[in-house]
Structure 1
Amino acid sequence: MGNEKDDGGSASRELAAVLRDHPGAIVAAVGDDGLFVPVPEGLDLGDDHHRTGLRSATDLVDGVDRAAVIAAWERARSGDDVTIDARLRDTDTAGRMHFIDARDELGVHFMVFAVDDGGGRVEVPESPPIPEGSQAKVVRSRKDGLAVLVDLDHNVSELLGWRVEAMVGVRSLEFIHPDDQDEAIAAWMDMLSAPGLTTRARLRHACADGGWLWLDISNRNLLDEAGHVECEMVDVSEEVAAQEALAASEQVLRRLTESMPVGVFHIDADERLQLANARLHEILGTLPGDDQATMLSTVRDEMAFDRALAAVLAGTDVDLELEIQVLGTLDIRRCTLALRALTVDGAVTGAVGVLTDVTESVRLREELERRATMDDLTGCFNRASVLEALEAFLASGTDVAVVYVDVDDFKVVNDGHGHAAGDEVLQAVGARLRSAVREHDAVGRMGGDEFVAVCAGLGSEEGAAELAQRIASSLRDPVGFRHQRITVSASVGVAWAPGGERIDADALVARADGAMYASKGIRGGGHTVG
């Protein structure tokens, strides 16, 4: 992780400390594109430290270390101060390369390469040779103080299509694309400001066939020393084309994520949020400017999310369900989250997540499940569901009691008070039955005016009889309906099966039903045991 910096020149102090500990180190300022740039004006690095005319830190090191340098630079660009071990190119010199982020203070990074013993003087390698067969990628030339070309090498013909004599004597600005000329002039004027200074600019250069070619153009001020400016033009058209293609792909990705009806986000390997689309903020109730902690605060089970994130960053894809409390409200949303690992050469570099709000579909599913298992009128289980619960109790090996209830003279209630009153009576019976049993017991409506209560673990037939008496007593009170009081009574029968008895659900219900019919001869809400 990077070091936190305070205001007030901490980066320059850190650089000074490194240079003090490593006299003779190679020092370079690094621009955002990773190329070496001039040291900011007014910054005195002393006379003991080498400046390098190389293009970038990768030119300093052996080929085997270049991937590590590139990875270190990527980390440095994200705000970290990074130190790695490396060897100078074409030597046995081992040392440490430091990247120091001084952008807030000086507008650049600094690269410092120092040998391991701290005090050794480091010799700067020569510029790497241009590979055989790729000479036409680079053109070198000389200009006078007014930017008029005075000499070019013959690679210009192959790279740009111009004959040397067609360009000599012409001001170089005339070959630069009109849209890039302001940048070219600014770089030229900066270069003229100090002897020995080199400036670079990425510009479009005219070709003899009328086209344009992207070049990295560097100009080195040797006017005082040699009476001319040295220029090097490097073909970067393939790199620019790749960058443009990448930019186009990124635009497609951004447009795609913004148009998707799901929340999409990207987290890096350090669990830092890199991307979040508008739909994600809509689901969470957050704003694009809200920080990561605010967004995470909407997750009701943060521990479950943290475990899932740790798993995916270890390389295991994860799917889970989450509850989201919309920020600033009491609204709870049910969501599914799919986390997928991102890898490069087998190493996890981060993860992408897709958050889908399934609240309405979950509510619909729960409603369908409720309708499939519950009696709409009374709120009790329906016949199939209560028999399924009875079969499960019997299969568990515990003792089970079934209390069968039939509302007496229910037709009289319907005929005398109307079907709405009858419905009110059935609802009251269902509610009283549920109140009379335990939470894990099951109460169901068998149809019409008949109900059963299924209770496990009462321990004895006497316990079952006590339950039946309690239920019968709960049904004696009248039911209020539209300023009327409707008298209710019910016939109650109970059957009990000890644990382990070989009896099926239908047989036990039949025994309770038979006991209920036997109780009809008992007035006042009594019960019988079958």
Structure 2
Amino acid sequence: MSFFHHLLIGLRAAVCAGLLLMACTVRGEGAGPDFQTMFDAHGAVMLLIDPVSGRIVDANPAAAAFYGHSRDALRAMNIEQINTFTPEQVTEERQLAARSGRNYFIFRHRLANDSLRTVEVHSQPFAFGEQTLLLSIIHDITPGRLSNQGLWHYQSMLEELVSEKMAEIDASRYREELLFVTGLIIQTGVIVLLVNNIRRRKRLQRERSAMARIMADERQRLIDILWGTGAGTWEWHLPTGAVRVNSQWAGMVGRTPEELAGLTEHGLREFVHPDDLARFLSARQQHVDGESPAYECEMRVRSGRDGWIWVMDRGRVVTRGDDGTPLSMAGTWLEITGKKQYEDKLRLAASVFTHAREAIMITALDGKIVEVNDAFCRITGFDRDDVLGRTPAVLSSGRHDASFYAAMWRALRESGHWQGEVWNRRKDGALFAEMLTISAVGDEHGRAPYYVALFSDITAQKLHESELERYAHYDGLTGLPNRLLMMDRLRQAMAVAERRGSRLAVAYLDLDGFKAVNDTHGHAAGDEVLSTLAERFRQAVREGDTIARLGGDEFVAVLVDPGSSEMVQSVLQRLLDAAARPVVWNGHPLEVSASIGVAYYPQGGEPDAEALVQQADDAMYLAKQSGKNRFYLADPA
């Protein structure tokens, strides 16, 4: 600086008596915005919170716009009035974030209109004088919502720094010119004013040093804020292709800032997944060409040597040449791997719901159907619009009583789960069997606002089981129970008789002369005789009794609580009469008779079912030896 210029500066000092006020307002080179300016101007939702009491100390305008409360209202609130999580749930989420290696939390925040939003909260403690506060930056990640908020806070601050600096330079230049004109007029007091000017320069130097320290502190605070958000920053100088990144950006790709010191734009491309590269370059180029106000792209980038993560890349041109040519761009990377995984899970769940072969029905707590899938419509014949808003009673077949459904709801209330077979009715009225599973679906508060029912059509399976059971337990020719079913019923009848102190009788019946019918007239005639006599025997016994065919021409009757001996003999005589009546086949009367052995239960020795049948069989042979067409009572063992 020349001596003449020093002199001119000295002449300016005498212009007005408010020189000290002017000196206080002059800011040295390198001055920048303070933290509060940054906090108020930033577009991201920010809260300053007392970590001890949870009181919201301050909220920026973006927070007021997001929550729907005024800033004064937010300053009078506690964070627990916004965060719907209980203290226990907040602790659990913090532990989950620590176990998962996340540097953020996921909460549910309530807005002024009582709507709930799922948010991602990045918090970091900072010292404000003697007080330590939590700076929380909130991102809305509600499912289905693609955020259009820009994470431009560091760029906005830098732009504000530039704007403020330019304004200060312009103001300083104006004052310098004014003082220059005035100094030319004032020609006296040069020596005194020169001394004062020297003092003023020293004072300004001290102020400039103090301002430099403040600016360094603010820059460090800004760096800390960026670190707290987990955002990686990048700057691209278009003419040279050079790219500068911060440590968070380097950490995302598994490198150190030193390893990326010479990074270029072409080198940056190597980190982008090949399937996403064309989309990334196209979106960025559209912004460079002025077709969009900012650039934004979700893409996969290499993390370490083998892994991939999802990031939200946002940026914009920050400087242009005199002809409008872009000179530099700046932006951020924010990892959204968790968000993308959550979206993938939602898409998968929707696909499974739609394409599952099992029918799916979702009901609210009041029982109203809120959603069904395609398989439900295919199995039941109902269209989706036919059942929405109605209850599952629209499917009721009437085959289950009130106690069945009461037991179902009791299981749901106690365990949140029920499974079983249910008969329901299709839209056309046809009955069908289904294997049904119902589960209560809980929310993050432990409540179960929905029930999900899954079922498959097992009608064909049930019919097949019925056929198999019939083949396994009934005689194919006569339709009478076979030996297996007869023995099962006999054991049950013996148990009942023992409990009630009653008795039962087992009658073993063998046809006399049946072999002659087969030999003379053939097996078709023999089958006709067996079928006809089986029906007669069924009518001869009471409804609660069992008449079974053991095979060949042998039958067994289980007479439950038959009453007196005279009543038993009456039943036995009806069986003998039924066997003795001729059976007409092709115009020929076919005649047989029967020999019956009878054993009672209970008796001495307490025989089992097999022994009781054997006693009756032995008695039947004694009846044959006594002349046939008669019954014989076995002696108790």
Give TM class, smaller chain.
Answer: 0.5 to 0.7
Of 554, 573, 576 in structure 2, the residue corresponding to residue 469 of structure 1 is 573
> Corresponding residue for 2:587?
484
2:78 is matched with which residue: 54, 62, 65? Answer: 62
Match of 1:342 in 2: 442
- Compare the two structures and name the one with the higher helix fraction: 2
Q: Secondary structure in 1 aligned to 2:83?
A: helix
Q: 2:394 aligns with which of 293, 297, 318?
A: 297
2:494 corresponds to 1:394: yes
Shift in Å, 1:348: 3.0
Per the TM alignment, residue 468 of structure 1 is displaced from its structure 2 partner at its CA by 0.6
Write the distance in 2 (CA, Å) between the matches of 1:133 and 1:324: 50
Q: Name the CA distance, whole Å, in 2 between partners of 1:214 and 1:273.
A: 42
Question: Structure 1 residues 53, 334: CA separation in 2 closer, same or farther (over 3 Å shift)?
Answer: closer
The 5 A counterparts of 1:421-460 are 421-460=525-564
Instruction: Assess if the C-alpha contact under 8 Å between 1:205 and 1:215 holds in 2.
Output: yes
Equivalent residue for 2:430, pick from 305, 330, 333: 330
What residue is the counterpart of 2:511 in the other structure? 407
Could you list the per-position Cα deviations for residues 25-65 of structure 1 after superposition, in whole angstroms to 9, with x for gaps in the alignment?
A: xxxxxxxxxx9xxxxxxxxxxxxxxxx95212488453112
Rate the CA distance shift 1:437–1:322 in 2: closer, same or farther, 3 A: same
Q: Equivalent residue for 2:11?
A: none
Structure number with bigger Rg? 2
Specify the alignment match of 1:138 in structure 2.
153
Q: Which residue of 1 aligns with 2:129?
A: none
- Cα distance 1:159–1:394, how it changes in 2: closer, same or farther (>3 A)? closer
Q: How does 1:495-514 map to 2 (within 5 A)?
A: 495-497=598-600, 499=602, 501-504=604-607, 505-514=609-618
Aligned mates of 1:373, 1:259 — CA distance in 2: 41
Distance in 2 (alpha carbons) for counterparts of 1:246 and 1:372: 53
Match of 2:346 in 1: 250
Per-residue deviation at 1:403? 1.9
Counterpart amino acid of 2:560? A
Q: Given that residues 465 and 529 in structure 1 are in contact (C-alpha distance below 8 angstroms), is that contact kept between their aligned partners in structure 2?
A: no
Q: How many residues align?
A: 385
Residue identity over aligned pairs, in percent, reads 22
Q: Which amino acid aligns with 2:78?
A: D
Q: Unpaired segments of 5 or more residues in structure 2? A: 1-44, 46-62, 87-110, 116-132, 140-149, 166-217, 240-282, 302-309, 317-330
Q: Secondary structure at the match of 2:430?
A: coil
Query: Is 2:323 the counterpart of 1:308?
Result: no
CA offset at residue 434 of structure 1? 2.0
TM-superposed CA distance for 1:339, in Å, is: 2.9
Give distance in 2, aligned partners of 1:271 and 1:57.
35
Task: Encode CA deviations 1:112-133: one digit per residue, 9 max, x unaligned.
Answer: xxxxxxxxxxxxxxxx996489
2:487 partner letter: L
Tell me which residue corresponds to 1:372. Answer: 472
Letter in 1 for 2:561: G
- Secondary structure at the residue paired with 1:297? helix
Q: CA deviation at 1:439?
A: 3.1
User: Once structures 1 and 2 are overlaid, which stretch shifts more, 333-342 or 457-466?
Assistant: 333-342
Gaps of 5+ in 1: 1-34, 36-51, 71-95, 101-127, 143-148, 167-174, 186-201, 218-233
CA distance in 2, matches of 1:151, 1:370: 94
Any conservation in 2 of the 1:336–1:355 contact (CA below 8 Å)?
yes
> What's 1:76 paired with?
none
Equivalent AA in structure 2 for residue 413 of structure 1: V
Q: Against the structure 1 CA distance between its residues 451 and 136, is the aligned structure 2 distance closer, same or farther, given a 3 Å change threshold?
A: closer
Q: Deviations over 1:165-207 (max 9, x none)?
A: x9xxxxxxxx99969x9x999xxxxxxxxxxxxxxxx983899
CA shift for structure 1 position 484? 2.9
Q: Aligned AA for 1:493?
A: I
TM-superposed CA distance for 1:265, in Å, is 3.3
Deviation at 1:477? 3.7
Letter in 2 for 1:204: E
Quick check: 1:491–1:516 contact (8 Å CA) kept in 2? no
Q: 1:216 to 1:463 in 2, by over 3 A?
A: farther
Say if 1:520 and 1:65 are closer, same or farther in 2 by CA, change over 3 A: same
Q: Is the 8 A contact 1:373 1:381 kept in 2?
A: yes
Alignment-mate amino acid for residue 457 of structure 1? D
Kindly indicate whether the alpha-carbon contact (under 8 Å) linking 1:491 and 1:519 is maintained by their aligned counterparts in 2.
Answer: no
Q: Is contact 2:295-2:314 (8 Å) kept?
A: yes
Task: Go from structure 1 to structure 2 and tell me whether the alpha carbon gap of 1:130 and 1:421 turns closer, same or farther (over 3 Å shift).
Answer: same
Asked if 2 retains the 8 angstrom alpha-carbon contact of 1:136 and 1:159, the reply is: no
2:432–2:457 Cα contact (<8 Å) kept: no
Q: Residue 230 of structure 1 aligns with which residue? A: none
Q: In structure 1, how many angstroms separate the alpha carbons of the residues matched to 2:517 and 2:163?
A: 115
Is 1:400–1:497's contact at 8 Å kept on the other side of the alignment? yes
**Matched ranges for 1:269-308 at <5 A:** 269-292=365-388, 293=390, 295-300=392-397, 301=400, 303=402, 304-305=404-405, 308=408
Is the contact between residue 579 and residue 594 of structure 2 (CA under 8 Å) also seen in structure 1? no
* Superimposed CA distance per residue, residues 341-363 of structure 1 (whole angstroms, 9 cap, x where no aligned partner): 43535433433332132333333
Contact 1:314 1:348 in 2 (8 A): no
How far has the Cα of 1:323 moved from its partner? 0.9
Contact 2:297 2:314 in 1 (8 A): yes
Check whether the contact 1:258–1:278 (CA below 8 A) recurs between aligned residues. yes
Q: Distance in 2 between matches of 1:203 and 1:159?
A: 16
Deviations 1:355-395 (A, max 9, x none): 13233333333333333322222222222432343233233
Residue correspondence of structure 1 range 110-129 to structure 2 within 5 A: none
**8 Å contact from structure 1 (residues 444, 453) kept in 2:** yes
Tell me which residue corresponds to 2:321: none
The alpha-carbon deviation at position 286 of structure 1 amounts to 1.8
Q: Aligned-pair distance for 1:297? A: 1.7
Partner of 2:198: none
Q: Is the 8 A contact 2:298 2:313 kept in 1?
A: no
Q: Would you say the 8 A contact 1:493–1:515 is kept in 2?
A: yes
Conserved 8 A contact 1:464-1:496: no
Describe the shift of the 1:163–1:526 C-alpha distance in structure 2 as closer, same or farther (beyond 3 A).
closer
Closer, same or farther in 2 for the Cα pair 1:281/1:237, shift >3 Å?
farther
CA gap of 1:140–1:457, structure 2 versus 1, over 3 A, is same
Structure 1 residue 318 displacement after superposition:
1.7
**Matched letter for residue 538 of structure 2:** R
